[in-house]
Structure 1
Amino acid sequence: MARSSAMRTAVFAVATLLAAAGCAGPARTPTPTPTPPPTPPPKTAPPAIQIVDEQLADLHLWVSNQSFDDDPIVLTVSIDGTEVIAQPFEVRGQHNWILFPLQVPSGRHVVHVRSGTGAEKQETFSMPGTGRQYAVIDYWNEPGQGGRHLSWRIQSTPIGFA
């Protein structure tokens, strides 16, 4: 009888264990956490707008003071908010253009020029993907003919000065 009692206890224990496992439902495997997509590499910043060696320049910018009345004149030039020139310019014989060879990436840009006398000029221009551009900024003071002002010209061929 002891043997049948032990056997009943064992059968009861196995039945209880199977019932408990069955009540828990089908075995579940943990849901894997999705792997996030790989982080794309950082985009490279466009080349900085800066003064470079003449042979590396995308833009040859010539600047001159054409006013005997405002001599010297301080001019500040920025492209897309980056200041590239801030210095006095002497008129000398009005044939005193100073070259600033600049690296400027292709695309649309805004040049802003401000003089120490308050004259300002803002223009948009485009740089091609290849080749070089040539530009001139002149400061003028012509009483009765426009007063103090700045001129801007850009072209794809070298500029011939008189």
Structure 2
Amino acid sequence: MATPEERIADLGLVLPEVVAPLAAYVPAVVTGDHVYTSGQLPMVEGKLAVTGKVGAEVSPEEAKELARVCGLNAIAAVKSVAGDLSRVARIVKVVGFVASAPGFTGQPQVVNGVSELLGEVFGDAGKHARSAVGVAVLPLDAPVEVELIAQLHP
């Protein structure tokens, strides 16, 4: 059975370096057997991939791909404190924030980008509870932000 790291490679993806915090917080913390990530933006090589509101400057399809980037950054944050992604027993909860143009109601489909990635990387352990929330604006004018909670094997 392939490890999560092997599945990431099989998908043609590279686990990025943990995104440096933009303010006074850390990317992830462990408490008990859970990892909580801070909100992850669609940063690629230290830069925000795209800016704007979904349903205006950013298409829903592009936003879904950006949510996938956020998810990959969240996985990197989990690994930074867990040491090995094989320690992840399950992804418990995902919260996706979508900077939405007035009238845009496709937040669930956008956040599917991260949910689908987690399923591809962690299999059944990637199935999770989730919220997809439309907001007026996100840090740096990002279109999407994702945070997650993962449970670790003891």
Greater RCO (CA < 8 Å, at least 6 residues apart):
2
Kindly indicate which of the two structures has a greater share of residues assigned to helix: 2
TM-score range relative to shorter protein: under 0.3
TM-score when normalising by structure 2 = 0.23
| Structure whose alpha-carbon radius of gyration is higher | 1
